Structure 1
């Protein structure tokens, strides 16, 4: 996800950039931030495909409100978040369909919440892992990953469109890179599944929605089932906003 920060005070950019980077690291989302101290220069770089734009209202070259008005004439979909030391321009800010209005000094929790809310409405933001398959760099979305099987120094990754990707990576490396994704669970030595594609569990096997059947580690079956049920419960709770 690409973020533009327009603020004529560089140290304010540094604070916001560090916060966005921390959020990305915590949530396995690659976030790139670009800095512009002049709004007019930023307008000349809109082909960089920014998803979110943090705009300071009080700037010398062009103020944030006027910049947002010009931006809206060019891009109606970009998420605009105003940052300022005062709430005086709040009504005018929302006249250009700003997504949020944040006052300085920054509070990390508020920035995190704005990023979470923004990602929820952005169609092009997905969690993914970077892999190399057939000498090609591929960004594999976690939501498209069905299962992972270990084969010596390789992994066989199955996707939701029934593709099979053979990747040179150890299982331990894969586990480290995907440790924050609760939908992925190891059910046996060398086997990881995506719970979102789980059909059922019988006495000794996990059945996936694509018809694949994997053996489950019997001695840890109860623990595995508890983790699966906890994930499903939390997902349903989020979906129903309980």
Structure 2
């Protein structure tokens, strides 16, 4: 397994270095980048580049909570752990789906347990297995916006603007997406409903989070609408 990619954010140099040391001492391979402010982290953040955000809540300027609120708008899945001297922000942490809330002084066991949890979460993340140039790769399902058949290739559009063009047929990949929040509104498209922002009735398409359109065939219009509404209902109930 590749090293866990961790962003460590704290405006106190001593605290940053202490967290880095604890992370490096844990028996799990990691690769860390240090940030001295929430503003720096938010500016550098892109979906898919980190496996964990380990950050202080109380920082000068933008707080950790405010930073995660901004990050959650573009990545709802990235694991986050707050370090803090107070538990008064526990409710905000819950609302932001924070993985762990660690009180200072941070202990080595706290970091070990956190990294183990992130590692298990990453290993158990549903993924799409593909072969590219004879090499097998796994793409986390939560990173995929949609798949599109283009002649003899399948375009896989991912978070962060990344696109992969794979030789083959869409139909051969679909069985791997069963049980996940995907719907095929057209024979050439399969959309991740998590990234659907709405339905354009006039142009008959799903409007995706990246601004692209996923076409809906005329016979599938009512099914596409129901699939999206059912997904939103399930999401409100906490199923997705």
TM range (shorter): 0.3 to 0.5
Instruction: Determine which structure has more spread, i.e. the larger CA radius of gyration.
Output: 1
What is the TM-score with the length of structure 2 in the denominator?
0.48
